[in-house]
Amino acid sequence: MANEIQKVAIIGSGCAGLTAALYAARAQLAPTVLTGAMPGGLLTTTSIVENYPGFPEGVDGTDLMISMQQQAERFGAVVKFGSTVENVDLSVRPFKLTVDGSEMLTQTLIIASGAGHRHLGLDSEKILDKKGVTYCATCDGALPMFRDQPLVVVGGGDSACEEATFLTRFASRVYLVHRRDELRASKIMAERALSNEKIEPVWDSEVSEILGAGQEKVSGVRLNNNKTGEEQTINCAGVFIAIGHVPNTQIFKDQLEMDDAGYIIRTEGAQTNVSGVFVAGDCSDKVYRQAVTAAGMGCAAAIEAERLLASENQ
């Protein structure tokens, strides 16, 4: 890997990275995909994906990602499993990546390193993950287990308000649990949520336990009022945790422009402030965070990388 200069290196193998790989491979750029610790990305952590176009019956998340990988490989993408980028030097082209201790040089770089969810940090949250605990209303809200059931949304920002409002389509009631006595969401989002008669805010409250571990299915939450110290229990079938995301962008700090939360800023299309470095998917998207939008951004990043290389006769 040391001396060969890649035309396109892709950090990440989720929907964004593998779609970028497909497009770059079909442009005969033989991209190298560095999968990181989670080959296939976040979608491999879910079972059925019902909103990825082309699968009327839904598709298993891991199966979808294996298909994307095979499709990219068919056209010449090289997928390096488990390879993690530890460091980057984007000050000069070719860019220098440190991958598992070795150096890799690349003319263009597509960053598709995704974002993780912020967790409450409770044992019961871990135990009941995907058994009623979820981090994405758009992904899971319509599941039969949540239909006509009381649900809890944890958080007080725009995402929490949006998720709570969205869930009123399915739920019998939505409790919006927030640790403060007012929402920190934008005025319009907060007003929309609070004026919805199906949404009941629960102020000054923190989740101390998610109930149902014994039955392997969420049955409620135990809340602690941080002003009065009082405890209360709310029965519910699902807990939607919307307390923020953490983009996997630490290694690019001080080299690429990011917003305060660490999302890489796209200057135009999929471009970053460094010519030759492109970005796609959840590491630069705090709005949609969907498989199909990540894939679309991966496509855009690869097309732009290809155009840059072509303009340089590479």
Question: Active-site residue numbers?
Answer: 136, 139-140
Q: How far is CA 206 from CA 29, 135, 137, 296, in A?
A: 51, 17, 20, 37
- Parallel, antiparallel or unpaired: strands 102-111 and 173-177: unpaired
Task: Work out how close the CB of 310 gets to ligand FAD at its nearest, in angstroms, rounded to a whole number.
Answer: 25
Does residue 85 bind ligand FAD (CB under 6 A)? yes
Task: Work out how close the CB of 163 gets to ligand FAD at its nearest, in angstroms, rounded to a whole number.
Answer: 13
Does residue 66 bind ligand FAD (CB under 6 A)? no
Q: Check: CB of residue 289 under 8 Å from CB of residue 14.
A: no
Q: Which of 307, 261, 260, 305 is nearest to 280 (CA)?
A: 305
Does residue 294 bind ligand FAD (CB under 6 A)? yes
Q: How far is CA 237 from CA 133, 142, 210, 219, in A?
A: 9, 13, 11, 5
Binding residues for ligand FAD, how many (CB under 6 A)? 37
Among 8, 9, 16, 239, binds ligand FAD (CB under 6 A): 16
Output 114 or 220, the one with its CB closest to ligand FAD: 114
* Residue burial 21-30, b: 16+ Cβ < 10 Å; e: rest: bbbbbbbebe
Q: How far is CA 104 from CA 46, 210, 278, in A?
A: 32, 45, 17
Q: Check: CB of residue 154 under 8 Å from CB of residue 242.
A: yes
Output 43 or 183, the one with its CB closest to ligand FAD: 43
Does residue 114 bind ligand FAD (CB under 6 A)? yes
Task: Work out how close the CB of 45 gets to ligand FAD at its nearest, in angstroms, rounded to a whole number.
Answer: 5
Q: Rule CB under 6 A: which of 181-220 touch ligand FAD?
A: none
Q: Check: CB of residue 75 under 8 Å from CB of residue 243.
A: no
d(CA 107, CA 44) in angstroms, rounded, equals 30
| Per-position x/- string for 19-58, each x denoting binding to ligand FAD as judged by CB under 6 A, each - no binding | ---------------xxxxxx-xxx-xx--x-x-------
DSSP state of 145: G
Among 125, 158, 209, 282, binds ligand FAD (CB under 6 A): 282
Task: Work out how close the CB of 225 gets to ligand FAD at its nearest, in angstroms, rounded to a whole number.
Answer: 30
Q: Rule CB under 6 A: which of 243-262 touch ligand FAD?
A: 248, 251
| Per-position x/- string for 125-164, each x denoting binding to ligand FAD as judged by CB under 6 A, each - no binding | ----------xx--x-------------------------
Place of tokens 């006595």: 181
Q: Which residues bind ligand FAD (CB under 6 A)?
A: 11-17, 34-39, 41-43, 45-46, 49, 51, 84-85, 112-114, 135-136, 139, 248, 251, 281-282, 289-292, 294
